[in-house]
Structure 1
Amino acid sequence: MASDPFDGDVRRLRHGGRGGGNGDPAGYRPVRPEDGMSEPPASPAPADAFHLTPLDIRKQEFRKSLRGYEPIGVEDFRMRVADALERVIRERSVLEERLSALSEQLRAFRERERAMNEALVAAQQLRQDMRVAAEREAQVIKREAEAEARRILDATRAAEAEGRARMQEAERMYAGYMQGFRALLERQLAELRALEGHGG
Structure 2
Amino acid sequence: MAELVAVIASTHHPFYYRASTSTGEDRPPFADEWVRKVEAFRETLTRARPDVLVMVGSDHFHQLWLDNMPQFLVGKAPVYDANWYNEEREFGLPRMVLKGQEDLSAYILREGLDAGFDLAFSNELRIDHSITCPIITLRPEADLPIVPVYTNIFAPPLPQPKRCFGAAVRQLGLPRPARRRARMPDVHSARFGGEDLPGFPQAWVAREMP
Structure 1 or 2, whichever has the larger Rg, is: 1
Is the TM value for this pair above 0.5? no
For Structure 1 versus Structure 2, the TM-score category normalised by the shorter chain is under 0.3
TM-score (norm 2): 0.18
